[in-house]
């Protein structure tokens, strides 16, 4: 049986699939040619990440397909319900990349509070001629320790963010529509663990209390954070979105940054991917990454191995 990993798969995932007798194809097929390629090669399993879509037309047109797999969490690029109605298995790897995304959140946070996103732009341009001026400009950083982080969406990734925050010495609060209480287990390097109860509260109160807000919610029809929500936040607070593009109103975000309501924002996802708005990309108070939350070697290994295990359990 053939597995087409159209957006790539780690070598460990390839090895795991081949060890179970699958033929793994890693050719990147253009979206408009995907249906014909699957049919010509009698592909049984299609694996995607965020670049490739699997919509109704593909489901209807590819009778050899038995599984569609998403390497990662969100499956908004797959017509999941329709595929399942048609008898296909749709799988993903919700736990594999959680730690990687959480670490990226803190990369944005640490970079933001010490102006790294801006100093890394300006040091190559002015570091030789204006060193003292830049030193003064970036000399008013703050520490994360002792501050409050509010996590909107307290699933796997949100809880991984909480674990890092607790280790840093931050106060952690959370808002989640689907839970009333939560306890996270922080694992130390030597095997010891510490259980910490996290306060679950309304989003409105979370925004009012938080020095930093991190979003971990799925894509949805309406903005989660817009003008009203920015107005509810503390003056000088900051926000990070490593979830999905479109959960933040970027026009309202830029207004909040320009007015000083927010001190900075960290964005790994954007409303208009893969062509984010130039106003967002050029803003001096925005820390930017190109949707790389799960893009670590360790996460990709876990994703590949977990997909291989699920595929084998279904087909063998």
Vertex 93 angle, CA 91 and 96, to 5°: 170
Vertex 147 angle, CA 286 and 74, to 5°: 55
Q: How many residues appear in the chain?
A: 316
CA distance 99 to 147: 21
- 291 in catalytic set: yes
- 244 in catalytic set: yes
Q: Which helix (H) or strand (E) covers residue 200, if one does?
A: strand 193-200
Q: Give me 2's structure tokens.
A: 């053939």
Cα–Cα distances in angstroms (integers) from residue 224 to residues 195, 221, 267, in the given order: 30, 9, 15
Could you give the angle at which helices 98-113 and 156-168 cross, rounded to 10 degrees? 50
User: Which of 103, 126, 209, 273 does the annotation list as catalytic?
Assistant: 273
**C-beta contacts of 273-281 below 8 A and 24+ residues apart:** 273/245, 277/250, 279/250, 279/254, 280/250, 280/253, 280/254
CA distance 139 to 284: 16
User: Which of 108, 117, 156, 244 does the annotation list as catalytic?
Assistant: 244
User: Which of 49, 70, 156, 291 does the annotation list as catalytic?
Assistant: 291
8 A C-beta contact, residue 280 and residue 110: no
Residue 256 CA, chain-centre distance (Å), reads 23
Q: How does DSSP classify residue 96? A: T
Q: How does DSSP classify residue 188? A: P
Closest CA to 297 of 305, 288, 308: 305
Q: How does DSSP classify residue 71? A: S
Query: Which residues are catalytically annotated?
Result: 244, 273, 291
């Amino acid at each position: 049986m053939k597995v087409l990993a159209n957006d790539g798969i780690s070598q460990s995932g390839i090895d795991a699939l081949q060890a179970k007798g699958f033929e793994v194809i890693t050719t990147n097929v253009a979206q408009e040619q995907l249906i014909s390629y699957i049919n010509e090669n009698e592909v049984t399993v299609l694996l995607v990440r965020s670049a490739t879509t699997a919509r109704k037309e593909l489901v209807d047109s590819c009778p050899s397909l038995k599984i569609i797999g998403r390497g990662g969490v969100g499956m908004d690029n797959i017509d999941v319900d329709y595929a399942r109605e048609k008898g296909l298995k749709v799988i993903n790897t919700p736990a594999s990349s959680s730690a990687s995304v959480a670490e990226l959140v803190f990369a944005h946070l640490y970079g933001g509070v010490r102006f790294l996103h801006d100093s890394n732009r300006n040091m190559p341009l002015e570091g030789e001629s204006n060193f003292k001026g830049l030193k003064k400009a970036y000399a008013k950083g703050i520490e994360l320790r002792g501050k409050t982080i509010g996590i909107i969406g307290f699933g796997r990734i949100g809880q991984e963010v909480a674990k890092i925050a607790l280790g840093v010495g931050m106060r952690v609060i959370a808002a989640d529509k689907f839970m009333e209480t939560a306890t996270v287990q922080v694992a130390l390097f030597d095997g010891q663990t510490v259980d910490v109860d996290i306060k679950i509260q309304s989003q409105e109160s979370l925004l009012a209390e938080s020095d930093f807000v991190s979003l971990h919610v799925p894509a949805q029809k309406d903005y989660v954070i817009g003008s009203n929500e920015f107005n509810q936040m503390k003056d000088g607070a900051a926000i990070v979105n490593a979830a999905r593009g479109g959960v933040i109103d970027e026009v309202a975000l830029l207004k909040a940054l320009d007015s000083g309501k927010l001190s900075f924002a960290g964005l790994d996802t954007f409303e208009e991917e893969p062509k984010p708005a130039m106003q967002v990309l050029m803003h001096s108070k925005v820390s930017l990454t190109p949707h790389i939350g799960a893009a670590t070697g360790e996460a990709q290994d876990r994703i590949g191995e977990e997909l291989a295990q699920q595929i084998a359990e279904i087909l063998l």
